[in-house]
Amino acid sequence: MWSTIGELGEFGLIERVTARFPGTGDVILGPGDDAAIVAASDGRVVATTDLLVENRHFRRDWSSAEDVGRKAAAQNIADIAAMGARPTALLVGFAGPPELPVAWAEELSEGLRAECAAAGAAVVGGDTVAAGEITLAVTALGDLGGHPAVRRDGALPGDVVAVCGRLGMSAAGFALLEAGVHDADDAERALAGRAPERGAGSGSGTAGPDAARSSAGEAPDWPDCLNEHRRPRPPYTDGPGAARLGARAMLDISDGLVQDLGHIARAGGVRIDLDSADLVPESALCEAAALLRELGRTDRTAREHMLFGGEDHALAAAFPPEAELPPQWCPIGTVAAPGADGPRVTVDGAAADARGWEHFR
């Protein structure tokens, strides 16, 4: 009927996609008026915004439209959770070329809806405009429920630093996608193509294409890293949970663990000492790191992916030493008074560079 969003038109597109968005108990007025109205139970609202631009933050040949919608929602909702707040609502600005298929826009909306549903939030408004490249502008709102927010600046010497969520997997998945590895067959082909060099110089005991499969011949775990890059699963409820556990500082890890903990260190005027032995990589990450080495893409170890990878959308927090952390919070270090070199992050006693990545550069 309408194959492109240009044919469907702005109002037609808005009508089709907003029909997908159910309300929640927090939605006082949903899409369709000049603005939405959302409950802010304790007289405060938490708000954050992020932009995702095609070919910078996602690629249509790497991620489905639903993946893109889920990720756009997830990374914003994670910022709300990282304040210790419960997400309530999303507003979504969408810019795209008129020749974009309506089906793509609808699947994107489905991804936004599904991720909001997983977090207990609702899409309450937005805007659609024509543009040369696809851009998603997502704003998330949240509710602190009467509790103080957990900011970046409250860490105290003696606190325990802990993380909740998966580290390094998104970055490893990104590196694999960059290497043209979208699934196990791609990996096999890529390794086969590199076989002579590996035989000549790698010194690795792993037989070539087997690295794409798994040493036991079973289905490999490393494709989980692709999934983690395409659809991060931030631990939403553990944000407010951390606030209840007494977290003194918290943030969402988006630019890499070491770089983001640097914000907590500087904001609190403290040193954060990490023990890399406490960073235990999942088998999927170990396999991905091995595969990336085999492919000649990066020598990063699994632990280095955990320390420096980006787009994790895990939570990192500083808790008082007496806090009883549930198992999803993994202690990885401690907070100390700063040394002569000021607030910073160390790994196994050595100053760590923030090798996360900056946009624009």
| Residues from 70 through 129 that contact a copy of itself (CB under 8 A) | 79-80, 82-83, 85, 89, 91-95, 98, 124-129
Both tokens of 210, joined, read 């087997």
Should residue 131 be labelled a site residue for a copy of itself when binding is judged by CB under 8 A?
A: yes
Let me know the angle formed at the C-alpha of 304 by 302 and 307, rounded to the nearest 5 degrees. Answer: 115
Q: Say if residue 260 carries a ligand binding annotation.
A: no
Neighbours of 3 (CB within 10 A): 12
User: Which residues does 9 contact at the CB level (< 8 Å), separation at least 6?
Assistant: none
Should residue 322 be labelled a site residue for a copy of itself when binding is judged by CB under 8 A?
A: no
Q: Between residues 252 and 304, which has the closer beta carbon with respect to a copy of itself? A: 252
The answer to whether the beta carbons of residues 264 and 162 sit under 8 Å apart is: no
Q: Say if residue 79 carries a ligand binding annotation.
A: yes
> Which of the residues 145 through 204 are near a copy of itself (CB under 8 A)?
149, 151-152
Q: Which of 278, 247, 273, 275 is nearest to 262 (CA)?
A: 273
The count of chain residues that interact with a copy of itself, using the rule CB under 8 A, is: 72
Q: Between residues 13 and 347, which has the closer beta carbon with respect to a copy of itself? A: 13
The only residue of 18, 24, 39, 301 in contact with a copy of itself, by rule CB under 8 A: 39
For residues 206, 167, 172, 261, the Cα torsion angle rounded to the nearest 10 degrees is -120
The answer to whether the beta carbons of residues 168 and 228 sit under 8 Å apart is: no
State the nearest-atom distance from the C-beta of 8 to a copy of itself, in Å.
8
- Alpha carbons within 13 angstroms on the beta-carbon side of residue 166 total 22
The answer to whether the beta carbons of residues 173 and 166 sit under 8 Å apart is: no
Should residue 130 be labelled a site residue for a copy of itself when binding is judged by CB under 8 A?
A: yes
Query: Applying CB under 8 A, which part among 157-165, 246-254, 331-339, 343-351 lies near a copy of itself?
Result: 246-254
Q: Say if residue 152 carries a ligand binding annotation.
A: yes
Should residue 142 be labelled a site residue for a copy of itself when binding is judged by CB under 8 A?
A: yes
State the nearest-atom distance from the C-beta of 332 to a copy of itself, in Å.
19
Q: Say if residue 42 carries a ligand binding annotation.
A: no
The DSSP H or E segment spanning 115 is helix 102-119
Q: Between residues 116 and 181, which has the closer beta carbon with respect to a copy of itself? A: 116
> What values do phi and psi take at 194, rounded to 5?
-95, 0
The answer to whether the beta carbons of residues 154 and 288 sit under 8 Å apart is: no
Should residue 275 be labelled a site residue for a copy of itself when binding is judged by CB under 8 A?
A: no
> What values do phi and psi take at 137, rounded to 5?
-115, 110
Should residue 137 be labelled a site residue for a copy of itself when binding is judged by CB under 8 A?
A: yes
Should residue 353 be labelled a site residue for a copy of itself when binding is judged by CB under 8 A?
A: no
Q: Between residues 82 and 175, which has the closer beta carbon with respect to a copy of itself? A: 82
Q: Say if residue 228 carries a ligand binding annotation.
A: no
Q: Between residues 189 and 266, which has the closer beta carbon with respect to a copy of itself? A: 266
The only residue of 3, 15, 22, 56 in contact with a copy of itself, by rule CB under 8 A: 56
Burial of 351 (0-12, 13-18, 19+ CB in 10 A): exposed
State the nearest-atom distance from the C-beta of 173 to a copy of itself, in Å.
20
**Residues annotated in the binding site for Mg(2+), as ranges?**
34, 48-50, 79, 127, 252, 255
**Residues annotated in the binding site for ATP, as ranges?**
126-127, 152, 254
